[in-house]
Amino acid sequence: KVDGDRLWDTIMETAKIGGTPKGGICRLTLTDLDKQVRHWFRDACEAAGCEVTIDEIGNMFARRPGKDPTLPPIAMGSHLDTQPTGGKYDGIIGVLAGLEVLRTLNDSGYETNAPLEVINWTNEEGSRFAPAMLASGVFAGVFPPSYAYERTDREGKTFLEELERIGFKGEKKAGSHKFGAFFELHIEQGPILEEEEKTIGIVTGVQGMRWYEVTVTGTDSHAGSTPMRMRKDALLGASRMIAAVHEIGWAHAPDGVATVGLIESKPNSRNVIPGEVFFTVDMRHPDDAALAKMEADLRSVLFDIAMPLQLEHTIDRVWDSPAVKFDPACIDAVRQAAAAENEPAREIVSGAGHDAAYISRVAPTAMIFVPCEKGLSHNELEKAEPEHVIAGANVLLRAVLQMDAQ
């Protein structure tokens, strides 16, 4: 069993790096705060006897040797970056529980057959640099490194310059080593486990998700002297479109969801009719065909809104992450671990994206969910119970040892 107090203390210690007054964390990827937590992580892993390597995309791998150095490592991990108004648990518990597993094995002098690795994936959130899961995607061969390097934040800074600036562009080629298995512990970020009073979610897969960028173009003009009949108001168009995106989500509920998370209007001046609005759309569904239907709806409905308002618009699909099914043996390892720990568990499909979704393309993979209060995540008030997180870490430990024993 892991040392629960130590795990919890470690979570609370790193939560100070970028901690917000409301109790959350703002630690956007490749910022100075991300650099700080990365140094903390490297030091902590080295103190636990690991060798830490960094790949060309900033992914960090802390390795504890096993008896047989020819075996591929069994890996655990998640991400230490957060949303602008993120919580203390999203991603973080997956990395720190991995570290706790290593510390526990050290304490008991347990030697695994395969090496173990704990991983911190770069830019999982996708908030600063779209898309999400960018660096695990590179590791899995979904994107070339150059694609990641060229991503820009909303201020125009590139992923590459920021990665170099914080000193975390490593030598190692991304994806150059294989895993025997990969396990990611995460909070559910949704309401199901809590509603059903389960401690453990045996994650069988991840729903499909697509991201779009929409630009609506009208004409800047004077808010006072331009009659209603002469306006080409890009923000009016965008507003109707955002309301329509929401309707598409409802039309595909309860499985589908659709969200506009980011909007920028130009020139953004109180007495100027906006001439250009940029916004993003996030649509998800566990069924790829249904997701394709949502996209078709989006395209037709946005056209129908723009036309009568005499607005131009473009829709770019910037990300398409199809639905994922995890590896049956890894799922089984999680199921058996939960049973052995006597934790109430159920199978669940993830509504959120995770590094595990991409890693599942190159390694046998599964995930372990624990509940979070009211399903609230991407919010500074995100909350998970210590006993749930600790239970998740124990399930992780067991699942890893079981894969190692096979």
Ligand X SMILES: NC(=O)NCCC(=O)O
- Cβ-based nearer residue to ligand X, 124 or 404: 124
Site for ligand X in 263-282 (CB under 6 A): 271
Interface stretch with its own copies, choices 7-15, 102-110, 155-163, 227-235 (CB under 8 A): 227-235
- Residue 375 sits in the site that holds its own copies (CB under 8 A): yes
In the chain, count of helices (H) and strands (E)?
12, 16
- Residue 227 sits in the site that holds its own copies (CB under 8 A): yes
As a whole number of angstroms, the distance between CA 246 and CA 322 comes to 21
Binding mask 127-156 for ligand X (x = CB under 6 A): -----x------------------------
Strands 200-206 and 221-222 come out as unpaired
Structure tokens at 22: 């409301």
- Cβ-based nearer residue to ligand X, 117 or 125: 125
Structure tokens at 169: 């562009």
Choose which of 55, 162, 233, 297 interacts with its own copies (CB under 8 A).
233
Smallest gap from Cβ 40 to ligand X, in A, equals: 21
On whether the CB atoms of residues 201 and 368 are closer than 8 A, the answer is yes
Q: Binds 230, which of ligand X, its own copies, none (CB < 5 to 8 A, cut-off by type)? A: its own copies
Site for its own copies in 151-210 (CB under 8 A): 188-191, 207, 209
As a whole number of angstroms, the distance between CA 274 and CA 263 comes to 12
Site for its own copies in 128-147 (CB under 8 A): 130, 132
DSSP character at residue 164: H
Choose which of 55, 90, 100, 162 interacts with ligand X (CB under 6 A).
90
Cβ atoms within 10 Å, residue 138: 27
Identify the residue whose tokens are 């990365």: 38
As a whole number of angstroms, the distance between CA 163 and CA 148 comes to 10
Interface stretch with its own copies, choices 30-38, 105-113, 120-128, 165-173 (CB under 8 A): 120-128
Site for its own copies in 297-316 (CB under 8 A): none
- Residue 249 sits in the site that holds ligand X (CB under 6 A): no
Interface stretch with ligand X, choices 68-76, 112-120, 218-226, 389-397 (CB under 6 A): 218-226
- Residue 353 sits in the site that holds ligand X (CB under 6 A): yes
- Residue 295 sits in the site that holds its own copies (CB under 8 A): no
- Residue 308 sits in the site that holds ligand X (CB under 6 A): no
- Residue 383 sits in the site that holds its own copies (CB under 8 A): no
Element (H, E) at 5: helix 4-14
Bridge partners of 272? 222
- Residue 227 sits in the site that holds ligand X (CB under 6 A): no
- Cβ-based nearer residue to its own copies, 53 or 379: 379
Cβ-based neighbours of 319, under 8 Å, separated by 6 or more: 130, 131, 132, 209, 210, 211
Bridge partners of 324? 206
Structure tokens at 141: 């061969």
Which is nearest to 402 in space by CA: 302, 334, 322?
Answer: 334
Site for ligand X in 157-196 (CB under 6 A): 189
Smallest gap from Cβ 350 to its own copies, in A, equals: 7
On whether the CB atoms of residues 73 and 63 are closer than 8 A, the answer is yes
Cβ-based neighbours of 155, under 8 Å, separated by 6 or more: none
Greatest Cα pair distance in the chain:
79
Smallest gap from Cβ 37 to ligand X, in A, equals: 17
Choose which of 94, 249, 364, 392 interacts with its own copies (CB under 8 A).
249
Strands 276-285 and 263-266 come out as antiparallel
Which is nearest to 359 in space by CA: 50, 124, 93, 35?
Answer: 124
Interface stretch with ligand X, choices 56-64, 104-112, 118-126, 291-299 (CB under 6 A): 118-126
Q: Binds 124, which of its own copies, ligand X, none (CB < 5 to 8 A, cut-off by type)? A: ligand X
Choose which of 282, 297, 355, 404 interacts with its own copies (CB under 8 A).
282
- Cβ-based nearer residue to ligand X, 26 or 71: 26
Which is nearest to 366 in space by CA: 110, 179, 99?
Answer: 179
Cβ atoms within 10 Å, residue 301: 16
Q: Binds 198, which of ligand X, its own copies, none (CB < 5 to 8 A, cut-off by type)? A: none
Instruction: Tell me: is residue 68 an annotated ligand-binding position.
Output: no
Instruction: Tell me: is residue 288 an annotated ligand-binding position.
Output: no
Bridge partners of 270? none
Choose which of 229, 289, 308, 342 interacts with its own copies (CB under 8 A).
229
**Which residue ranges are tagged as binding site?**
79, 90, 125, 186, 378
